[in-house]
Structure 1
C-alpha cells in the first residue's frame, strides 16, 4: 500500500503514541492490555487506510471529458451562481468524501492553472449547503483549449487541514494530483451549463476512473 506524504508524520506520531499507551497499560493494568491492543490495531488501521494513495492512471485522456477529482458520493447536481471567479451561473457537481474514502484530489481536466486562492472559514458539516461559501476552502481554476472549470476543496466538521500543491500558471496533466484534504471533506466542481452530466445524486465515484461530465 502506498501512503500519501501527508500521512507520514501522523502515522509516526500515532505509532509512537499507541506504543507508549500500550506499554504503560501492560505495566500498570495488564488485564486490559489485550483489549487495548485490539483497539489500538483497529485505530492504527483506520489511520493508515485514510492516507492510502492508490495509483490511478486515466485509461483515456480527453479534453472534452471531466473526470472525478476525488473518491466519494455525488451529493449535489444543480445550476448555481459561482460568485468568486466566474461570477455567473455554472453547473455545480459536488462529491462528499467520508473518512473511509481516498482523499487525494486530482485534476479533473488537463490545462493551465488560471487562479488559486485559500479562504479561511467555518467548519460546517461538508454536506451543508453553505459549506461551499462559508467553510475553510481553496479554489483552483483550470483552463484548456475546450473549457475552463473551477475546483473547490472544502473542509468539513472534522477535516481542518486542506493542502493544495499548485500555483497560477502551472500546467497540469489530466488526473494529476493537485491536493489533499485530511479526515472527511468535499470537492465542488463548477462546469459550463451545457456540460452533459454522466453521474447521478447518490452515485459513488472514483477519482481518475469515473467521468463526471462531457462537453
Structure 2
C-alpha cells in the first residue's frame, strides 16, 4: 500500500449532511485569508473541526439477540429509573434509562441500539438547554423512535442540546433496522436516551466512554454466547 493510500485509509468518511457546512466554513476561511491571513488559519482550523464533526467512521457491531449497543459516541452521563416521555407510548411507570452525552467533538451520526421494527416516530419541538441536565429529556427539542424487539419495546430519543439546532432522521415508521444501523444525526452537541424494558442488565457505568454501534450498554440475555460481528 502506498503512503497516500495508507493516509487515506486513516481518514474517516464524511456524512453527506456535513458537506454544506464544511463548504461554508471553507468559503469563510478564504474570505478571512483575503482580510488577514492569521484569521484565515483560524478559519482553516474551524473547517477541519467541522469535517471531524460530520465524520462517519466504519463500526464493528456485536450481533446477538438481547444486546443493546450505544446509539451515540460520547459519555454515559446518566443511568436512572425514569418515566419515559408520553409521546413514546411506553406507559407511565419508570423505565431504566441510559443517557449518552455527545460533545461538539464527538461523531454525531446516531445508530440503532437494537435490531427491530420501528413502531413509532415522535417529534416534539422544545428548548435548547444544556443536554447534560436531566430536565433536557422533558424540555428540549427531541425526536424519538420506539423499536419493537423480541425482548420488548425499546425507546431511543435524540435530544437537541445547547448548541444543536436540528435533529435529522433517516428512517420511517414500519422500517426494520439492524443493530448499529444509522438512523439519524444531530447537529452540534446533544444527547441520546435509551429506555429499556424490564429484564435488561446494564453493562456500563456513568462516566464511561461509549462508541456508537460498538459499546454494549445492556444485555437481556447475560451469559449467552454466540456473538457475531458486522462491519458497517
**TM bucket by the smaller chain?**
over 0.9
Q: CA RMSD of the aligned region, Å?
A: 1.1
| 1:89 CA displacement | 1.7
d(CA) in 2 for partners of 1:5 and 1:143?
29
2:137 aligned partner: 132
d(CA) in 1 for partners of 2:31 and 2:44?
14
1:183 aligned partner: 188
Gaps (5+ residues) in structure 1? 26-31
Q: 1:83 to 1:39 in 2, by over 3 A?
A: closer
1:10 aligned partner: 21
d(CA) in 1 for partners of 2:19 and 2:41?
22
1:86 aligned partner: 90
Q: 2:67 aligns with which of 40, 54, 65?
A: 65
What pairs with 1:203-214 in structure 2 (closer than 5 Å)? Answer: 203-214=208-219
Deviations 1:104-156 (CA, angstroms, capped at 9, x unpaired): 10000011000001111001100111110110000101112222200000001
Q: 1:151 aligns with which of 129, 146, 156?
A: 156
Q: Which runs of 4+ in 1 moved over 4 A?
A: none
Gaps (5+ residues) in structure 2? 1-11, 221-232
1:52 aligned partner: 55
Q: Secondary structure at the match of 1:128?
A: coil
d(CA) in 2 for partners of 1:73 and 1:193?
23
CA contact (8 A) 2:26 2:43 kept: no
d(CA) in 2 for partners of 1:211 and 1:137?
23
CA contact (8 A) 1:124 1:156 kept: yes
Q: Secondary structure at the match of 1:109?
A: coil
| 1:83 CA displacement | 3.8
d(CA) in 2 for partners of 1:22 and 1:9?
20
Deviations 1:136-179 (CA, angstroms, capped at 9, x unpaired): 00010111222220000000110111011111111111111000
With the length of structure 2 as denominator, give the TM-score of the two structures: 0.86
1:99 lines up with 2:101 in the alignment: no
d(CA) in 1 for partners of 2:31 and 2:206?
45
d(CA) in 1 for partners of 2:214 and 2:56?
14
1:108 aligned partner: 113
1:28 aligned partner: none
| 1:192 CA displacement | 1.4
| 1:193 CA displacement | 3.1
d(CA) in 2 for partners of 1:131 and 1:71?
18
CA contact (8 A) 1:89 1:193 kept: no
